Amino acid sequence: MKIEVAKGQDKGFLPDGRHTVEITDIEEGISEHQQVPFFAARMENEDGFVSQRFYNSEAGHPIILQLYSAVGIKPEEGKSLDTKQLIGKRLSVEVSDHSYADPATGNERTLRQATGFRAA
């Protein structure tokens, strides 16, 4: 069997711990379960990558604002933030696993996540 390695798939996940990363890609979508808009930021360095979803909801806004602040973009009341502004920005993140019960099946799922956003 041959396994093709597509662009951006040549790295594994970042190990647990704090890492300085660059945001290299943004994908936008709608959550499968509650239909909440989100963007997923791919954050990587020479050691690997992590992809983190940010939900555009009241509960998600403080986390989004923390991300923008960490990359040096100051949100202004009444103005919109563009996710494309994040591409190429560097920041420090804490990488770890997060387990939760899948709402659709009740089965436990584990995701690699980035938290603790700080200026690089």
Domains and CATH numbers, the chain: 17-119 (2.40.50)
pLDDT tens-digit series, residues 25-51 = 999 999 988 899 999 999 999 999 999
Side by side, the strands of the sheet bearing 17-30 are 48-55, 37-45, 17-30, 90-101, 108-119
What span, in angstroms and rounded, lies between the C-alpha atoms of 5 and 32? 27
CA atoms within 13 A on the CB side of 88: 2
Q: What are phi and psi of 22, to 5 degrees?
A: -120, 140
Least confident segment among 37-51, 84-98, 101-115: 101-115
What span, in angstroms and rounded, lies between the C-alpha atoms of 37 and 60? 10
Averaging pLDDT over each range in 31-35, 53-57, 96-100, 102-106, which range is the top one?
Answer: 53-57
Mean pLDDT of the chain: 93
pTM of this structure: 0.87
